[in-house]
A and B are shown apart, each in its own frame.
Chain A
Amino acid sequence: MRVARLLRGLALSALLSGSAPALAVTPDEILPDPQLEARARALSHELRCMVCQNQSIDDSDAPLAHDLRVLVRERLKAGDSDSQVLDFLVARYGEFVLLRPRFEWYTAPLWLAPIGLLLIGGITVLVAVRSRRGIAAKAEPPAPLSKSEQARLAELTKPGRG
């Protein structure tokens, strides 16, 4: 039920499951307390439907996603905090359930990539600029114009020439 599904339909239509894009969150799942429901929806966006291809449980209409949505709501009703709900699901299903991986040694490169790339790129640019400048500074200044060249220049810039 997302762009991916379409593109996958194009890409791997053989692999595409036969399930229909129906509604993900169904009316009977919704909690009467709007605040709790809003938290449930926000959490649902962070959780992966593990039998789907890259869908959050909020987007997926798979039975597993339904079960997980109900589970999240039950935990919230029982008074869990958001992080407690996530901890509970990770303990049950592993890190795979989180769409935003936690910082671990094996996800460190992932989280450091943007800053790292920015630093590496920025330093490269600085070094390149400095070395170019160095080359330019070291380059010999152009030789002063010779007598004949000066005469030619004066001739060329003389007022009155077309």
Chain B
Amino acid sequence: MIAELGHYALVLALAIALIQSTVPLYGARRADAVLMGVAEPTALAQFGFVAFSFGALVACYVTSDFSVATVFENSHSAMPLIYKFTSVWGNHEGSMLLWVLILSVFGAMVAAFGSNIPATLKATVLAVQSWVAAAFYLFILATSNPFLRLPQAPFEGRDLNPILQDFGLAVHPPMLYLGYVGFSISFAFAIAALIEGRIDAAWARWVRPWTLIAWIFLTLGIAMGSYWAYYTLGWGGWWGWDPVENASFMPWLAGTALLHSALVMEKREALKVWTLLLAILTFSLSLIGTFLVRSGVLTSVHAFASDPMRGIFILAILVLFIGGALTIFAWRAPVLKQGGLFAPISREGALVLNNLLLTVTCGTVLFGTLWPIVTEAFGYKISVGPPYFNWTFGPLFAILLAVVPFGPLLPWKRGDLRGVTQRLTAAFVLALAGILVVCVMEGRPVLAAFGVGIAAFVIVGALTDIVERTGLWRATFPIALRRAAGLPRSAWGTTFAHIGLGITLLGIVGETQWGSEQIVSLRPGDKVSLRHYDFTFEGTAARAGPNYRELATRFAVRRNGELIGEMVPLKKSFQARGMTTTEAALMTRGVSQIYVSLGDVSQDGAIAVRLYHKPLVLLIWLGAVVMAIGGAFSLSDRRLRVGAPKPAKARAALQPAE
């Protein structure tokens, strides 16, 4: 019964979405306040019904109702409650339901909190957002119904894929989707602006918080996924340039560009048309990502062709929305008035360069991801893997990072490069010092020294602005502190986000250039050394978990003969799927980690062990967290809370007929 109610609620959500996607739009064209007013209650109701539907699915999973097909496929009665809950979105159908749930959450949030947005714009935005929602409800109902019943209810489920039975599944997909789907709001705003034929600084200010929220979650979501894969897969890596990863990284690159170009638009009314295009492209990349992941096209063009229903449906959505949006763009963009002028050397100029480089890196990733699919369709099978991306993306991003510190220090409209370079002297000096220190201390890879130099430049460069604005070296400390508190939050946001970039780069350099590794076969009592650490394999123990059995191996870790801890890497075997997973043991030392994971056990009792020393590795994810903190600072900026002053005319149109 619950499953049927959930299914029915989803059908109702579709019906409401269809109303929301048409009536307010017509109302906005007719300036009819009553028709426009339909948008808000429908957005809230849509959220209500989707939330009910999602809740119904959760209930099916938590109560292990195996008469529902997806529950049978992906759950098991012996699983801990948290995994029963998270396995709701650990599969195609459920994750699509999560996708639309988050879409409706954003719609409802615009309806509830977007009180400073003019009525016509708000009605149009909600209508456009509802087009996307309607398309995906239809997709779920037609091809991926999560509530499908089995004719005969089995006694036991097939269990969730063991590698997904981890806390990471509770956090990673919802965060990633909050990011992906959040960009639908920027998209809806862009289309609404094109339909209205009017766009100004106030528009940029209304869109900014939504773009920021999406960006913050996407940043955290990607970082979380990377760390999850790192600790759970026993592979020791954290990024593999796989199409599925690229699918989340491309919207991040485009979204980062969007945040920066929207800034130019807000402050200087320039780059309007480009910002609109970028808003459309960012969400288009989210849709492309969804298509790549959901359609099976990644496995092979042929796998896609053999079961094409879902893939073709998403492809149709993709073509409809991207094609439609770009058509509206081509048709309406010339109507928009161009804004302020600026000299090439200015903050606007720097942000244009930022956008150019981010777009090109994003395009490179897109090419690398899609090109094998293109050539395969013509009979040439090629592989595009990490070596390609490191060769192409790496240099481009290094250039981008090297120019990051210049942007915030340049004034708007017209700047002078010499002045900025002088102000960055400290950063240059420290970067050079970093390079020298690395060369002297480590000697080998030149790349590492270069990376550390850029990272130091980015971090010190980001701090330069704050130091100058608070007058840290000139004024007394309490005054500087007071000035620091008085600085706009967005200035702190920029600083933190850029520092985060530098921190992540440091982590990447440390992990890739200075990491060391040992692969050995050990018997209880054996010893092995890695870097400054000595490991003793103490023995193994078999244990039983709720739905698995595990083999625990104990390692005593010593440094200079002193015991510093014990590491227990595991091997788990799950009976329901006959699968084995390994769980690496991690020991954190500062921001570095020691990582031990297990391989096969041979007949004579020896076990293959892989040990890594990963210097600075935690900085990779810590940097992402610092970036997200920067985003949060920016989000709390006063100007976003207060909202833009409304033009008098728009206000008159706002008044409901009384």
- Chain A residues within CB distance 8 Å of chain B: 1-16, 18, 20-28, 30, 45-46, 48, 53-56, 59, 94-101, 106-107, 109-110, 113-114, 117-118, 121-122, 125, 129, 132-133, 135-136
Contact = CB atoms under 8 A, between A and B. Distances in A.
Given A6-B163, A48-B383, A95-B382, A26 B581 contact: no
Given A2-B240, A3-B239, A11-B92, A28 B161 contact: no
Contacts of A26: 519, 521, 599-600, 608
8 contacts: A6-B232, A7-B242, A24-B235, A26-B600, A27-B519, A27-B608, A46-B387, A54-B243
A18 B235 CA distance: 17
B187 interface: no
B545 interface: no
Interface in B569-611: 577-582, 597-600, 608, 610
B242 A2 contact: yes
A129 B242 contact: no
Given A18-B579, A48-B385, A99-B383, 13 more contacts: A11-B293, A12-B299, A13-B91, A18-B577, A20-B581, A23-B234, A27-B608, A45-B386, A46-B387, A53-B298, A99-B388, A100-B384, A113-B367
Given A2-B233, A10-B95, A13-B164, A21 B582 contact: yes
Nearest to B273: A128
B352 interface: yes
B643 interface: no
B371 A110 contact: yes
B171 to A, nearest CB: 13
Nearest to A46: B387
Given A12-B296, A23-B598, A4 B388 contact: no
Interface in B238-252: 238-240, 242-245
Contacts of A94: 381
Interface stretch (B2-10, B356-364, B445-453, B555-563): B356-364
Interface string B140-184: 000000000000000000000101100011000100000000000
B344 A129 contact: yes
B490 interface: no
B245 A3 contact: yes
Nearest to B597: A23
A23 to B, nearest CB: 3
B233 A54 contact: no
B261 to A, nearest CB: 12
B582 A54 contact: no
A8 to B, nearest CB: 6
A93 B577 CA distance: 32
Contacts of B299: 12, 15, 53
Interface of B: 73-74, 89-92, 95, 161, 163-164, 168-169, 173, 225-226, 228-229, 232-235, 237-240, 242-245, 293-294, 296, 298-299, 303, 338, 341, 344, 352, 356, 359-360, 363-364, 367-368, 371, 375, 378, 380-388, 391-393, 396, 519-521, 577-582, 597-600, 608, 610
A27 B364 CA distance: 37
Contacts of B239: 3
B275 to A, nearest CB: 14
A75 to B, nearest CB: 19
B163 A3 contact: no
A135 to B, nearest CB: 8
A59 B240 CA distance: 10
Given A20-B579, A121-B359, A8 B244 contact: yes
A91 B423 CA distance: 56
A6 B356 contact: no
Given A1-B235, A6-B229, A21-B234, A27 B521 contact: yes
Contacts of B74: 13
A132 B378 CA distance: 43
Given A2-B233, A56-B385, A10 B364 contact: no
Contacts, number: 207
A30 B383 contact: no
Contact of A16 (B161, B173, B298, B359): B161
B341 to A, nearest CB: 5
B235 A59 contact: yes
Question: Which 5 A/B pairs are nearest by Cβ-Cβ distance?
Answer: A99-B385, A23-B599, A4-B242, A20-B580, A100-B387
A71 B605 CA distance: 27
Contact of A109 (B164, B169, B228, B371): B371
Contacts of B95: 10
B123 to A, nearest CB: 33
Contacts of A132: 338, 341
A114 B392 contact: yes
Nearest to A22: B599
A106 B377 CA distance: 12
B650 to A, nearest CB: 27
A135 B608 CA distance: 71
Contacts of B161: 9, 13, 16
A64 to B, nearest CB: 14
A118 B360 contact: yes
A11 B234 CA distance: 20
Contacts of B237: 2-3, 59
A59 B386 CA distance: 12
Contacts of A21: 163, 233-235, 581-582
B490 to A, nearest CB: 25
A9 B381 CA distance: 24
B235 A28 contact: no
A100 B582 contact: no
Contacts of A45: 386-387
A15 B294 CA distance: 11
A55 B521 CA distance: 24
A5 B226 CA distance: 11
Nearest to A53: B299
A112 B610 CA distance: 39
B383 A98 contact: yes
Contact of A2 (B235, B381, B598): B235
A110 B367 contact: yes
A7 B371 contact: no
Nearest to B393: A114
Contacts of A133: 341
A155 B327 CA distance: 53
A10 B289 CA distance: 14
A106 B520 contact: no
B388 A114 contact: no
Contacts of B392: 113-114
Nearest to A15: B299
B600 A23 contact: yes
